[in-house]
Each structure stands twice: as structure tokens, then as C-alpha cells.
Amino acid sequence: MAQPAKYIMVINKIKEWIEAGKVKPGDKIHSENELSKMFQVSRHTIRQAIGELVHEGLLYREQGAGTFCAEQPETLSPSFPKPTSSGKNIGIITTYISDYIFPSIIRGMESYLTSKGYSLFISSTNNEVEKEKQCLEAMLERNVDGLIIEPTKSSGYNPNIPYYLELEQKNVPYLMINQYYSQLNPPYILMDDEQGGLMATEHLIELGHNKIIGIFKTDDLQGIYRMKGFINAFRNHQIPFQNDTVISYTTEDLPNVFQEKIENLLADSEQTPTGVVCYNDEIALKIIHILKEKGYRVPEDISIIGYDNSALAEASEVKITSINHPKAQLGIDAAKWIVEAIEHPDTFEKQNVTYEPELIIRESTKAI
């Protein structure tokens, strides 16, 4: 089994310190030099790890003073206190709390909701259907006034549909973000991921690439739509599409499912792609590490494009071309939506919001 990237190991160790209470909120963490010696890695690796932890909201920097442990968000648990009697309680259910782009989304929600006097209950499903069920039961028990949800494994039937119908019967407004359950036809705020997948692929095609593969997560609608856009680019430009043009994976498959498939492609010079479209920046970074281990250069040998324009896109040694995700703005817009739905139930029009994608070009893509 392949070892995780060095910066991931640093991230995981610092998270262990925080979870174990070895580093408490407000504590200053070791300097880059000290961490570099401690983990026997380069300062670049340390900066990459610290940058991601700052992005996740676990650490924060003070110029001239150093890097410190941040206050950790309170999460919903059976022992969580009952809601206030003010009638201003919002539930937030995400797939993850402290990973990837989610801290930025949550901060956007929190900044608006707290300014309006609302209390927040935040919980995460880790993209597991059973955990989503537990989160929904807890939210219903606490009689939240509104709920913002990022669905779990949205590409298939969700057995938790009865809980959403119960919310509707109780006239509790809810909003889905990033994706939605098509069986419910719920209100949502999300990206036009099909257009984003198309835009990412056409960027490589316009650079002269026609030997392109796509790597997509297929247990959520985001991945399905991004893959659909990828396929449409081949159709629009009449580029041959082979069986191995798409590598798919699910939540349970990570982190190593596609390593073997990528290595097999690289082993056959006739199969080796000149461009790779990735489900998100996290996957793009993993692919860059695999290619580097195999002696390939990005973008000189193979161009890579990610999705979401996360902190990882700029933390990488090779800055990653990516499709922008509005992140904090989505959080603010979702918060405004749910407040309007709660405070003006008779007049508020529950309209869906779809953001248009934007291509952010960096160093990881190059013309043939």
C-alpha cells in the first residue's frame, strides 16, 4: 500500500495533538524549523501542511508572532445542550467539518447567522448514510427552526428521505448545498458542475491535448455532473473516447483506489495521457505526487487540472489550475436563504441558486 504524502502525515500528526489536547486553543505551535527537524521533512512540506490546517480553521497565523491553535467548532452530539428558547436555532449538516473546502463554507454561514442572532448546531456525516440519519434525528429532537444540509452520497437513493418529509410536515425549512437528492426535488444552492467539468476539459483540449483522462467520484451528484461535462467535451470536439478514459471511485475507495490504475496507464507509453481532469484539487494533488514518484513532470509531461480552487491548489509545489468554487459566498448565501425562509415563510420565494464556474489558470497546465 502506498504511503501518504509527507505533508499529509504532518497534518494528521498535528490533528492528533489537537484532538488529544496536547495543543490547546491559543497555544503557539512549533516553528517551521522545529517542525521540519521533528518530522525530518523540508520546510516546504511544513508550509504546505500548515497552510492546509489554517485553511481548515484548525490553526491561525499572527504576523510576527507565529502560528496558533484555533478554537474548534462545537459539534452536535447527544450531550449537546438544548437549543435556546429564542426560537432562533439553525442546524447545519455537512459531510465533513474540518476537511478541504468545508471550513470556508461553514465560516460563511456562521458569520451571517451569528450576526442575525441565531445559534448554530453543526454536525457531520463523514459521507456515511447512517451518520446522516443520526444527525437528522438529533436535529428533529432539538426542534431546529431551519436546516442547511450537504447531502450524503447523493447519486443514489437515500434511505433517510422520511426524515426530510418529516421536516416538510413540520414546516421546518431546509436547504441543500453543493448537491441534492433528486428524489425530493428540494431547494438548493450549488455550482453548475456539468459546465465546470466541460470547462476544465475544454481548457486542456484548447491547449492541444487529445489524450485526456478523467478521475471522478461517482457516489455523489457533483462527481456525476463533472464527469458528464467531461464526456460532453469529447462529444463536442469529436475526440475518441476509450474505456479507460474515465477512472471512477467512491468514498470508501480512497485513498489508494486509483494509484494502481494510474500506474498501469503510465506503464504503457501508448496509454499514457498528456492531460488529466480531476474531480477536485485533493485528487489533483495526489496525482501530481504519483507522477512525480514515477519521474513525470507537471506540466511539462502531463498537464493536471483540479476543481474547487481550494487552498491545496496554491499550497502545491506546482500551483494547480482549477475551477473556482465560491465557498464562503455559498455559505453566506445559504445562511441568508434559510433566515428569509424562517422569518418570512409566507412571502419568501424558495428559489434555487446555481453559480457559474470560473477557470483559474495556474502552472499545472501547458500547451502541447
Could you give the residue ranges of the DSSP H alpha helices within the chain? 6-20, 32-39, 43-55, 102-115, 129-141, 161-169, 193-206, 221-237, 257-267, 281-293, 311-315, 328-343
Closest CA to 108 of 338, 316, 283, 348: 338
Please report the domains of the chain, with CATH numbers, ordered by start residue: 6-69 (1.10.10.10), 89-190+327-355 (3.40.50.2300), 193-325 (3.40.50.2300)
Q: Is the pLDDT of residue 2 over 80?
A: no
Give the DSSP letter of residue 356. Answer: P
pLDDT, tens digit (0-9, with 9 covering 90-100), for 70-118: 865 544 443 334 444 456 899 999 998 777 888 889 989 988 998 999 9
Q: DSSP characters for 110-159?
A: HHHHHHTT-EEEEEE-TT-HHHHHHHHHHHHHTT-SEEEE--SSTTS--T
pLDDT over 70, % of the chain = 91
The model carries a pTM of 0.79
pLDDT of residue 85: 45
Residue tagged 502560528 (cell numbers)? 67
Judged against a pLDDT cut of 80, whether residue 220 lies above it is answered with: yes
